[in-house]
Structure 1
Amino acid sequence: MKPIKEVTSVLAPLDRSNVDTDQIIPKQFLKRIERTGFGKYLFYNWRFDDNGAEKADFELNKPEYAGAEILISRENFGCGSSREHAPWALGDYGFRVVIAINFADIFYNNCFKNGILPIQLSEADVDDLMKKAKAKPLKITVSLESETVTTEDGDTYSFKVDEYRRQMLLNGWDEIALTLQLEDKIAEYEKAQA
């Protein structure tokens, strides 16, 4: 996984609550066995009409949010089924950070395992950031090292990630990479057991 230390990007506002995993990546696109290629189907039913043309009124189709790496939404983001394809689609689309009031538990855990930083902020903080992002394109910086979200105007919001998950993302490790940090000791143990 690619380490996440600091991400600076325009903030893409998705002003919706209860965004479920079937809205994030609809079921008809789950036939792939790779972890890549899902980004083009992200929020498919919201992004495209029945003929496959982009809907101009959908937030992420607006040109000012093209290339955004940080998404903000409301409460209960990632609810619904436990499909790991949801963070795969978000990551493949280009999002590295998702900010919300809270997340569904399985989705929240899957984000960390797939190199996406899910940040929980208070409802007041999300309201403030959402309002600013909808008024004009807002560039923000997310620092996992200092656990802060800072706007281009200097407003700062704090968040907390448990230290284990924080270190995993800072170093770009998944569970296998973490285990391989002990490769010398594993080899030494296996040699002693032979």
Structure 2
Amino acid sequence: MEKYKNHTSVAALMNRSNVDTDQIIAKQFLKKVERTGFGIHLFHDWRFLEDGSANPDFELNNPAFEGAKILVAGDNFGCGSSREHAPWAIDDYGFNTIISTSFADIFYNNCFKNGILPIVVDADTLKKLMSEIESNEGVEFTVNLEDQTVSSPGGISVSFDIDGFRKHNLLNGLDDIGLTLKQTEKIDAYEVKHKQRFPWLWAS
């Protein structure tokens, strides 16, 4: 998992509530176990028309949002099924930050495991952020995870809460596997002792 770095990026607007994981990544694309290759299918049913061409009315097809790393969305983002493919698709598409008033619990937890920062703000702040994007499409917001702030050219500056352990893991690029590998010496030492105590279990 890549380390999360403080950054200034285009903020894309998805002014929709209750965006569920079935829309984030549809079931017909859940055919792989690796984390990559899902970005092309993100929001497939909204992004593409029946003939496979881009839907000009879909928010993320707006050229002003090209290259955005920040997604500003409506309430209850990531509801629905628990599929971890949803944050995989979001990450593979290029987003590393999602700002909303609330997230579904499982999706919220899965974001941290995949290097994505989900930021919770109050309804008034979300409205202001959305309004600034609407009035200046392509605007760039600055996310500072170390200071736990989001700021905009229009003068918005908001602090957000995050669990200290999760913050540490994002900043250092540590997922569950990475955390385990940091304990390699202890694991090796345990195995040596275990072999000495129960040698018959290790006999070939």
Q: How does 1:38-57 map to 2 (within 5 A)?
A: 38-57=38-57
Distance in 2 between residues matched to 1:86 and 1:14, nearest whole Å: 16
2:49 is the alignment partner of 1:64: no
2:179 is the alignment partner of 1:178: yes
TM-score computed with the length of structure 2 as normaliser: 0.91
Bigger Rg, structure 1 or 2:
2
Distance in 1 between residues matched to 2:32 and 2:188, nearest whole Å: 36
8 Å contact kept, 2:129–2:156: no
Q: Which residue of 2 aligns with 1:191?
A: 192
Task: Give percent identity, aligned residues only.
Answer: 54
State the one-letter code of the partner of 1:135: S
Report the number of matched residues.
Answer: 194
- How far is 1:2 from its partner? 0.5
Superposed CA deviations along residues 89-112 of structure 1, whole A, max 9, x for unmatched, are 000000000111000000001111
- How far is 1:185 from its partner? 2.6
Query: SS in structure 1 opposite 2:52?
Result: coil
Runs (4+) of structure 1 moved beyond 3 Å? none
Distance in 1 between residues matched to 2:86 and 2:74, nearest whole Å: 17
- How far is 1:115 from its partner? 1.0
Query: SS in structure 2 opposite 1:126?
Result: helix
8 Å contact kept, 2:132–2:154: no
Q: Which runs of 5+ in 1 are unaligned?
A: none
Q: Which residue of 2 aligns with 1:83?
A: 83
- How far is 1:30 from its partner? 1.1
- How far is 1:180 from its partner? 2.0
Q: Which residue of 2 aligns with 1:152?
A: 153
TM-score computed with the length of structure 1 as normaliser: 0.96
State the one-letter code of the partner of 2:139: L
Superposed CA deviations along residues 142-180 of structure 1, whole A, max 9, x for unmatched, are 111110001134421110111111111011001121122
- How far is 1:32 from its partner? 2.2
- How far is 1:181 from its partner? 1.8
Q: Which residue of 1 aligns with 2:165?
A: 164
Distance in 2 between residues matched to 1:134 and 1:75, nearest whole Å: 17
Q: CA RMSD in A?
A: 1.2
Q: Which residue of 2 aligns with 1:100?
A: 100
Query: SS in structure 1 opposite 2:127?
Result: helix
Q: Which runs of 5+ in 2 are unaligned?
A: 197-204
Distance in 2 between residues matched to 1:159 and 1:29, nearest whole Å: 34
Q: Which residue of 1 aligns with 2:199?
A: none
Q: How does 1:26-37 map to 2 (within 5 A)?
A: 26-37=26-37
Distance in 2 between residues matched to 1:34 and 1:190, nearest whole Å: 29
State the one-letter code of the partner of 1:47: R
Distance in 2 between residues matched to 1:97 and 1:131, nearest whole Å: 18
